[in-house]
Chain A
Amino acid sequence: MNLLIGTFTIGFILSLLALGVFISFRIFAFPDITADGSITLGASVAATLMVHGTSPVLASLAGFGAGMIAGACTGTLYTRFKINPLLSGILVMTALYSINLHIMGKSNVPLLTVTTLATQSEHIGLKLMRRATTFGLLGWEVNVRDASVLVAVALVVALTGMLLYLFFRTDLGMAMRATGDNVQMIRALGVNDGNMIVFGVAISNGFVALSGALLAQYQGFADVGMGIGMVVWGLASVIIGEALVGTNSLGMTIVGAVMGSVLFRLLVAVALRWGLSPNDLKLITAVFVFCALIVPQFLRKKRLRSAHA
């Protein structure tokens, strides 16, 4: 049961990463791989600030802001300097590796003795449960600390998901969605599409960095290598989400990205339980995304062929 709670918690935390990837890849059709660096950036900024005594909420928000700056850099490389989107992301991601090391001062910052959002929510949970450390749920014994962290993370994700949904229905948000949809049209309606892309990629990386900040607080450390392969991870979540809920409405796709992230984390947990070596995890993830990308093409071809026959 506690393993399941842990799985859900990480799934929810990484759903912010999935939302970030959803914004860049799906809303803007911008293949942004800055995320590999900005998730670590969020973690390192938040961890370093907390070690120096900043409150966890402020530190997490600072992580979000740092991610936005990184994203704005990538967007600017693309829009102002006409560098290929993938290369823009690679450049910023590579630069972020050094920047993250500078921020942390070393390759790993432990948070075990520091007040984090995780310890704060554990504290609140214990208070609400009148100091009981476990409670029964459907016949299982549940650790109050773990459960309160899960509830807190779920609330944060619900809130940010809601804010994102509302944002995308404002004048500015709709202009951003239309930019990814039809640049010609949005220019003809007086929108500076370059600015929209810079801002959109910034928001995307803000979400990714916030995900990193929360992840560091949950696992109790920030590590310079924690971002490797995270874009693919987020993409896998988005693809699963689209398979679950379709792509018809904005609200459902946002919910789908969150569900996809949790489900993907569950699948991974099951696979690890069955004896999959953690070393193979990234390989399996990459193969999964590869399959998810080619299967629709394959099906379409097959359908065309059977239509002709």
Chain B
Amino acid sequence: MLEVQSISKTFHPGTLNEVRSLRGVNLHLAAGSWVIIIGTNGSGKSTFLNAVAGTFLVDQGTIRLAGRDVTRWPEHARASLIGRVFQNPFSGTSPSLTIQENLSLAARRGLGRGLGWGLKESLVARMRDEVRRLNMGLEDRLENAIGSLSGGQRQALTLLMATWLRPELLLLDEHTAALDPKSADLVIALTEQVVTRDKLTTLMVTHSMHQAASLGDRLIMMHRGQIIHDFQGAEKRRLRPDDLLARFEDVRRAEQLDESAAQMLAEQYV
């Protein structure tokens, strides 16, 4: 489904701010698999998601999605294959448009947009059904501007929008990190519902070790722009939050070792 072949990306090359965000990342995703991505800050997990989404073009490597080479496709073209939910609840919806207008935009993701009437009756009827299933009482407020909703409500709607047309790939970029715990649980429940119901191929970045351990069928851990662990099948199912924290501790210790070794070398030889 998704084949990422040794992609690399360096931001601000040749300057003091040079950051090698992705360093030869490989990932092959089977159709219908749900992969959780964790990693330290600056490990490149969000950058990896953005590379797949086409927010920027990679320096090296190829990205194939649903049998097509999308490496050079611009972001809006890849959107025909990809549904996305962002970390910031404000990023996924258009605040001054109404709920139904936002949903109708999502109903034409990747399709042409002409002078067809945006809010056809059949579409609005389906919206009411789908929004009712969110259990947020929003089905009677379809004509309210999205800007008046809470972060949790907006994130639930963004998830609905991203999956309105079945995407080949669903990208969730820490989509509950900015929500209060109750809203986060609700959005996660909705996520599980839709991913399992539609058998969506999903890449999900999270900070929550609990989510990482309980969700998905595969887990990768990133560090310094590379994938350092890849747990699949039974190994993934056995993982507990504590195991993951222990892995992070290993990474941290290795890093400290690097630094203290460098310091020791510097003291002795420089």
Complex-state Cα separation, A190 to B82, whole angstroms: 9
For chain B residues 79-109, which have a beta carbon within 8 Å of chain A?
79-80, 82-84, 86, 90-97, 101-102, 104-106, 108-109
Query: Is A187 a contact partner of B79 (Cβ separation < 8 A)?
Result: yes
CB contact under 8 A between A174 and B104, given known A181-B97, A182-B94, A189-B109: yes
Given A171-B116, A174-B97, A190-B79: 14 more A-B contacts, CB < 8 Å:
A169-B118, A170-B116, A174-B104, A174-B105, A177-B96, A181-B94, A182-B93, A184-B86, A184-B91, A185-B93, A188-B82, A188-B83, A189-B110, A247-B96
- Set B74, B79, B101: member contacting A188, Cβ < 8 A: B79
**Residues of chain B with a CB closer than 8 A to A185's CB:** 91-94
Query: Is B108 a contact partner of A171 (Cβ separation < 8 A)?
Result: yes
Q: Taking CB as reference atom, which chain A residue is nearest B106?
A: A189
Query: Is A170 a contact partner of B118 (Cβ separation < 8 A)?
Result: yes
**Residues of chain A with a CB closer than 8 A to B114's CB:** 170-172
Complex-state Cα separation, A290 to B262, whole angstroms: 59
Q: Taking CB as reference atom, which chain B residue is nearest A173?
A: B118
Query: Is A193 a contact partner of B145 (Cβ separation < 8 A)?
Result: no
- Set B86, B96, B105: member contacting A175, Cβ < 8 A: B105
Interface residues of A: mostly helix, strand, loop or mixed?
helix
Q: B221 → chain A, closest Cβ, in Å?
A: 26
Tell me, yes or no, whether B117 is within 8 Å of chain A by CB.
yes
Per-position contact with B for A231-254: 1 when CB-CB < 8 Å, else 0?
A: 000000000000000011000000
- Set A174, A189, A248: member contacting B145, Cβ < 8 A: A248
Query: Is B105 a contact partner of A172 (Cβ separation < 8 A)?
Result: no
**Residues of chain B with a CB closer than 8 A to A167's CB:** 115
Query: Is A186 a contact partner of B118 (Cβ separation < 8 A)?
Result: no
**Residues of chain B with a CB closer than 8 A to A184's CB:** 86, 91
Q: Quick one: which of B92, B105, B119 has the most chain A CB within 10 A?
A: B105
Tell me, yes or no, whether A197 is within 8 Å of chain B by CB.
no
For chain A residues 152-196, which have a beta carbon within 8 Å of chain B?
167, 169-175, 177-178, 181-182, 184-193
**Residues of chain B with a CB closer than 8 A to A189's CB:** 79, 105-106, 108-110, 161
CB-defined A-B contacts under 8 Å, sample of 29? A169-B118, A170-B115, A170-B117, A170-B118, A171-B105, A174-B97, A175-B113, A177-B97, A181-B95, A182-B93, A182-B94, A184-B91, A185-B92, A185-B93, A186-B105, A187-B79, A188-B82, A188-B84, A188-B162, A189-B79, A189-B108, A189-B110, A189-B161, A190-B79, A190-B80, A190-B108, A190-B109, A193-B76, A248-B145
**Residues of chain A with a CB closer than 8 A to B93's CB:** 182, 185
**Residues of chain B with a CB closer than 8 A to A190's CB:** 76-77, 79-80, 108-111
Query: Is B118 a contact partner of A187 (Cβ separation < 8 A)?
Result: no
Q: Taking CB as reference atom, which chain A residue is nearest B110?
A: A190
Tell me, yes or no, whether B22 is within 8 Å of chain A by CB.
no
**Residues of chain B with a CB closer than 8 A to A175's CB:** 105, 113
Tell me, yes or no, whether B53 is within 8 Å of chain A by CB.
yes
**Residues of chain A with a CB closer than 8 A to B96's CB:** 177, 181, 247
Q: Quick one: which of A174, A189, A248 has the most chain B CB within 10 A?
A: A189
Complex-state Cα separation, A170 to B119, whole angstroms: 8
**Residues of chain A with a CB closer than 8 A to B80's CB:** 190
Q: A127 → chain B, closest Cβ, in Å?
A: 36
Tell me, yes or no, whether B75 is within 8 Å of chain A by CB.
yes
Q: B126 → chain A, closest Cβ, in Å?
A: 16
Complex-state Cα separation, A186 to B105, whole angstroms: 8
Q: Quick one: which of B102, B161, B162 has the most chain A CB within 10 A?
A: B102
CB contact under 8 A between A182 and B95, given known A169-B119, A187-B75, A188-B53: yes
**Residues of chain B with a CB closer than 8 A to A191's CB:** 76, 79, 113
Q: A128 → chain B, closest Cβ, in Å?
A: 35
Q: B108 → chain A, closest Cβ, in Å?
A: 6
Complex-state Cα separation, A171 to B103, whole angstroms: 11
Query: Is A178 a contact partner of B97 (Cβ separation < 8 A)?
Result: yes
Q: Quick one: which of B108, B113, B119, B161 has the most chain A CB within 10 A?
A: B113
Query: Is B118 a contact partner of A174 (Cβ separation < 8 A)?
Result: yes
Q: Taking CB as reference atom, which chain A residue is nearest B143?
A: A249
**Residues of chain B with a CB closer than 8 A to A193's CB:** 76
Complex-state Cα separation, A185 to B88, whole angstroms: 11
Q: A199 → chain B, closest Cβ, in Å?
A: 11
Query: Is A186 a contact partner of B94 (Cβ separation < 8 A)?
Result: yes
